[in-house]
Structure 1
Amino acid sequence: MQKNLIHTIEQEVKFSEVDSLGIVWHGHYVRYFEDGREAFGKKYNLKYLDYYAHGYVVPVVNIQCDYKQVVRYGDRIIIETIYVPCEPAKINFKYRLLNPVTGELIVTGSTTQVFLSKDKFTLQLTNPDFFTDWKVAQGLI
């Protein structure tokens, strides 16, 4: 049985994130996913600068987002970020955005990132040693 690594943060919807109808513009949910990944990285010692220090960048190559509820300026949201373990040299996350008052599901989504060398942007086909070490430290392998 694999261990789930989950991290949640709560934040308020800013005025700059809403459209002329007063609801969050759909593209900002991608940023919420990014906020979740950054907070996850801080908690689990897997920050973007760590990848970079080991010679990699990790671009998002796939993103999926399903909208369930409307969110408005001033609302609060919970961003739940779930690491999805896998053997290939990629990083998968799932996301759930929730209303902290009602618990209603607002959005679900996922992202996939790959390892590219920071200098030549060549694709890494096997897990970098530091990432394998991170998985071991987290009890994932």
Structure 2
Amino acid sequence: MLQTTKQLTVRFCEVDAMHIVWHGHYVKYLEDGREEFARHYGLGYYLLERAGYGIPIVEMELSYKKSARYGDTLEVETRYVPSATPRICFDYRIRHADTRQLICTARTTQVFTNAQHQLQLLPPPCFTEWQQHWLPSLASLV
């Protein structure tokens, strides 16, 4: 299982009038988690962009469990979900770092597009190489 954890502190500008994190900021927290994953496992946007591909998010699901507040330290756990289809899926768990209480769960799905933003039905060679390095058993199924 490929997984990373990113710690972040809730900033004042991220809370709403009720003094809790505004729901839209969780999307940014997921992005922070994906960027941490990319740094750790070498699956960054630049790798795909240099190869001529984009990876837009086509599906996002969030489930809010508990509110986070200004000053809270959160942990964003990002787990890669292997797929035999040409897509990148991540599951997330956002927890309060001190209490370990679950704040939010989420899942994102990204697809591959070419430079003209057309959906690609085959994974880019650089992604296949990445899979072969980190998930050799999955790469043999594709």
Structure-1-length-normalised TM-score: 0.95
Provide the C-alpha distance between the structure 1 equivalents of 2:28 and 2:97, rounded to a whole number of angstroms: 19
Secondary structure class of the residue paired with 2:46: helix
Tell me whether 1:9 sits opposite 2:16 in the alignment.
no
Deviations 1:17-40 (A, max 9, x none): 111111000011011000000010
Q: 1:134 pairs with 130, 133, 136, which one?
A: 130
Deviations 1:72-101 (A, max 9, x none): 011110000000000111100000001111
Secondary structure class of the residue paired with 2:7: strand
Gaps of 5+ in 2: none
Deviation (angstroms), 1:129: 1.1
RMSD in angstroms over aligned alpha carbons? 0.8
Identity %: 44
Tell me whether 1:70 sits opposite 2:70 in the alignment.
no
Matches within 5 A, 1:10-89: 10-89=7-86
Secondary structure class of the residue paired with 1:111: strand
Look up the match of 1:109.
106
Provide the C-alpha distance between the structure 1 equivalents of 2:67 and 2:86, rounded to a whole number of angstroms: 35
Runs of 4+ in 1 over 2 A off after TM superposition: none
Secondary structure class of the residue paired with 1:49: helix
| Equivalent position amino acid for 1:76 in 2 | T
Secondary structure class of the residue paired with 1:57: coil
Count of matched residue pairs: 137
Provide the C-alpha distance between the structure 1 equivalents of 2:84 and 2:128, rounded to a whole number of angstroms: 10
Secondary structure class of the residue paired with 1:61: strand
Secondary structure class of the residue paired with 1:35: helix
